[in-house]
Structure 1
Amino acid sequence: MRKSKINWRVPKGAELTELDKKVLSFQNKGHLVPSRELIKTPEQIEGIRRSGVINTAVLDLVEKEIHAGMSTAEIDKLVYDYTVSHGAIPACLGYEGFPKSCCTSINEVVCHGIPNDEEILEEGDIINVDCTTILDGYYADASRMFIIGKTTPEKEKLVRVAKECLEIGMEAAKPFSFVGDLGHAIEKHAKKNGFSVVRDLCGHGVGLEFHEEPDVEHYGKKGTGMLLVPGMVFTIEPMINMGTWEVFIDEEDGWTVVTEDELPSAQWEHTFVMTENGVEILTY
């Protein structure tokens, strides 16, 4: 987790708004609060929303086409072709050297799996497909789990509980709550079902860049982490493991994150904007 030194600064000579007063009251009590720059304008939120429409449609297409016998490279081609044909850019492609347009993470792969021609989906696999879209400079990010044919009851439960963790985190994310509130709720539900929450990776702010503040950890204590203020845009994307929460990165490709015990993992992700009434989903 990045050690943020962010705080809320009111421009010199500007009149304090009610939002300024509220955020400063938390800051003065020692809480971590966002900078004003993390509060998106209505125009920026609309841009992210438009990007989210394409990102959601990409995953809808994957859901329609995915099947046993398909290579993960074929999934990547679907993502690339649909994205660019709609005037957008797949954000993953070339990001810090990542070679493909999406991440395809099968079974024990937690995230950042690299699509390739040799990796063929088999009956019983569970796979996460993670896409981020750039449209007119605005980023939207989401991932979904897919079950290939019929799988085991244990894997089915893992996929279901991971989605429930996302939904529970969404419900816990209230205006002027804290990132730790949603992390606490997610971890509690995962543990209740006998699963663990990955700690080495997290959700993040998004919108004007691929990754922004805050770090959205999916475990923690209530009342900790950054204050969630209306206008902030961020992902919630819990990675839930069947066994240990510990992971390692494949040394050969430097990207693929795998569970330490090589038991399955599942993840769902949406992009949200915080409003005065709670979160609004911008990507599915």
Structure 2
Amino acid sequence: MITLKSAREIEAMDQAGDFIASVHIGLRDLIKPGVDMWEVEEYVRKRCKEDNFLPLQIGVDGHLMDYPYATCCGLNDEVAHAFPRHYTLKEGDLLKVDMVLGGPIAKSDLDVSKLDFNNVAQMKTYTESFRGGIADSCWAYAVGNVSPEVADLMAVTKECLYRGIEQAVVGNRLGDIGAAIQDYAESKGYGVVRDLVGHGVGPTMHEEPNVPHYGTAGRGLRLKEGMVLTIEPMINTGTWEIDTDTKTGWAHKTLDGGLSCQYEHQFVITKDGPRILTSQGEEGSY
């Protein structure tokens, strides 16, 4: 069921969006050559405990296992849902960091600092039942100086994100979003991942409708004021096809070993156009 969000719900998601944006901004200084990727996960956990936000990805149901981390950290050819891990970031790497955070939470209701984030079963009881402000955002980070290939992929993917958001206006259809992204990406010679899509947000982190990053203009569900959606194009240097880790059921990689990039914003559709809830600053730059 698709729900139109109230002013109270949108305000809570806006507050959560401000927080997740501040976390992504903090990662800009952390992510550099020589840093252990695991420090990204530690940083996000630390911020959640300090500001009393729940890392809502911990405990998400999976085919083989529940997701155990606060972040997804996709490196180079990893498309999405890859685990943060001990890996020394190298000059030229492309790192995508995706997270879903919930709050703000009153400490009198739940003191997040006292939770054991490593106890996935315990965390699941909190993350599954959470119904407050939710923010979902992925950002791509260049590790040091990257190749022209990486820089171009990042620029095209970010442009895809904003071209999709521009189409999220009252009266347009989901196909208008997907077509804008697909047409631009493919005009640059890139592949658009089909298997993973954007989605509605609230009261849980994944709600209807699905928001494909490909499609035909003028087709699909009509967009209405009060919808809160994510657009999160995953753009590959080669084929759009992906492969999934059979041991965990989570990490997706490009089928041909090419690079993949992703940017994601969460926004609300208003009568005046889309309002980005996870903005990191001047849109088009961040």
How does the TM-score come out when normalised to structure 2? 0.85
Is 2:116 the counterpart of 1:116? no
Q: Deviations over 1:117-150 (max 9, x none)?
A: 2x22111001100111111422110111100111
| Structure 1 contact 84–90 (Cα < 8 Å) conserved | no
Q: Shift in Å at residue 103 of structure 1?
A: 0.5
Identity of aligned residues (%): 39
Over alpha carbons, which structure has the higher Rg?
A: 1
For 2:35, the aligned partner's letter is M
Counterpart-to-counterpart distance in 2, 1:70 and 1:175 = 44
In structure 2, what is the Cα distance between the partners aligned to 1:172 and 1:228? Answer: 10
Q: Contact 1:51–1:139 at 8 Å: present in 2 too?
A: yes
Residue segments in structure 2 that go unaligned for 5+ positions in a row: 106-131, 280-286
Deviation, 1:172, is 1.4
Q: What secondary structure, in the 3-state scheme, does the structure 2 residue paired with 1:54 have?
A: helix
Whether the 8 Å CA contact 1:145–1:268 is kept in 2: the answer is: yes
Find the aligned partners of 2:83 and 2:220 in 1 and give their Cα distance. Answer: 31
Aligned residues: 248
8 Å contact kept, 1:58–1:83? no
The one-letter amino acid of 1:48's match is: M
1: CA distance, partners of 2:263 / 2:74: 12
For 2:166 and 2:141, the matched residues in 1 are separated by 23
Q: Which of 123, 131, 143 pairs up with 2:99?
A: 131
Following superposition, the deviation at residue 252 of structure 1 comes to: 2.1
Q: Tell me the CA shift for residue 224 of structure 1.
A: 1.7
Structure 2 counterpart of 1:66: 31
Query: Could you tell me which amino acid in structure 2 is paired with residue 215 of structure 1?
Result: N
Amino acid at match of 1:112: H
Match of 1:50 in 2: 15
Higher mean alpha-carbon deviation, 196-205 vs 134-143, is at 134-143
TM-score under structure 1 length normalisation? 0.85
Q: Any stretches of 5+ residues in structure 1 without a counterpart?
A: 1-5, 7-34
Following superposition, which runs of at least 4 residues in structure 1 exceed 4 angstroms of deviation? none
Higher relative contact order, structure no. (Cα contacts within 8 Å, ≥ 6 residues apart): 2
* Secondary structure of the corresponding residue to residue 150 of structure 1: coil
Q: How does 1:214-229 map to 2 (within 5 A)?
A: 214-229=209-224
Aligned to 1:143: 138
Q: CA deviation at 1:207?
A: 2.7
